[in-house]
Structure 1
């Protein structure tokens, strides 16, 4: 999954604005459109996907960079996916709750701060938080100071490739293909136990509505 520091900071400080308005006003996809985003390609069940994704709730549009749950899941596959997706989303929300609890500056409205200042605040809080848990021996991954992010080559804004990427991000077919691949992948992960229905669930297979 990619980074969205500005969008995160904006959402934290703009609690009176709903998620869609925050998304529409956010530059979250700009670095994807202009080609400056890091490489996030991956495969699910042998199918390649070009962009990373965010876990979101039902209000968000069906973009290839969003993975939404099912409002009314059918069968044990979709039910397992729904519970797994929502459980991870709650973990992310708790993570930001922990940041706000640790750093008082994140609780205060910052109506007059610009984009760069919000980025600096969020990055500083992230880094200090990671340093603290690392010092306490609770870090979940090792830091590799030798690791470098590959350089990217931004393209012309408004050019053909730029517009093609905007179309790709909004491809609902890819959105559904990715979600269905993730449903099957998660269903096959045996160590995820979410109190599912019996394996012989009569609605265990995909229907045409799953792809709509």
Structure 2
């Protein structure tokens, strides 16, 4: 699949618009201007010039290509994601985050390790972040060892079926862990917001999508969260050493 010069869509089909907008996100990431449809504009297309954006999508499935095609942040972009509130030091945050390595973009929902370590604080943070990230990666290996269906090829399944299979395996795994009294964290429920976009107009949904997309890609928020985590971990390192002893 390739991003063509014109991405023609039916303005009444919001799903088609989202698919087109997701493809054009590559252009937005490169700093190109993408014209958005608005009231009073007669044309029914989102266009980019051949010179400004010509980026094939039929490449190897590395981390960035998978991220660009992933529905991971769909619920966040449509304002239907669970509200996750937590406190780091004395600072409150209301968006969850994913641990990632330096190849990922500097988005507000990613906490990346430092590519260059210049002081003890960053070195300590990078060590803790890398350790926690590897623990998460090992979790998928545990799930694959326990549930044979996760070791099978997934191309024959629909995206919705894969999602339900993963949810089912995770829920069953957590039930087994809890039943054996091996759980190390208290169960925490998250508030699922009401979908306020139901009954809204096409333009209102577009505005919410654009606003959430901007918040997701906020580099300043990414740096602020990482700086807060660095300070918090460094401040509590002595307590952690005492607990290990």
The separation in 1 between residues aligned to 2:116 and 2:223, in whole angstroms, is: 15
Query: Which deviates more, 49-58 or 77-86?
Result: 49-58
Q: 2:195 aligns with which of 153, 169, 176?
A: 153
Extract unaligned runs of 5+ from structure 2. Answer: 1-59
Q: 1:115 aligns with which of 155, 159, 165?
A: 159
Q: 2:65 aligns with which of 18, 21, 33?
A: 21
Shift of 1:148: 7.0
- Asked if the contact 1:38–1:150 (Cα under 8 Å) also holds between the matched residues in 2, the reply is yes
Q: 1:80 aligns with which of 124, 127, 143?
A: 124
**Greater RCO (CA < 8 Å, at least 6 residues apart):** 1
1:53-202 counterparts in 2 under 5 A?
53-143=97-187, 149-155=191-197, 158-189=205-236, 190-193=238-241
- Asked if the contact 2:101–2:112 (Cα under 8 Å) also holds between the matched residues in 1, the reply is yes
Extract unaligned runs of 5+ from structure 1. Answer: 1-15, 194-212
Q: What is the Cα-based RMSD across aligned positions, in Å?
A: 2.1
Shift of 1:71: 1.4
The separation in 2 between residues aligned to 1:135 and 1:49, in whole angstroms, is: 32
The separation in 1 between residues aligned to 2:178 and 2:228, in whole angstroms, is: 35
Shift of 1:143: 5.0
- Asked if the contact 1:35–1:152 (Cα under 8 Å) also holds between the matched residues in 2, the reply is no
Equivalent in the alignment of 2:77:
33
TM-score by length of 2: 0.66
- CA 1:143 to 1:69, structure 2 compared with 1: closer, same or farther past 3 Å? closer
- How many residues align structurally? 176
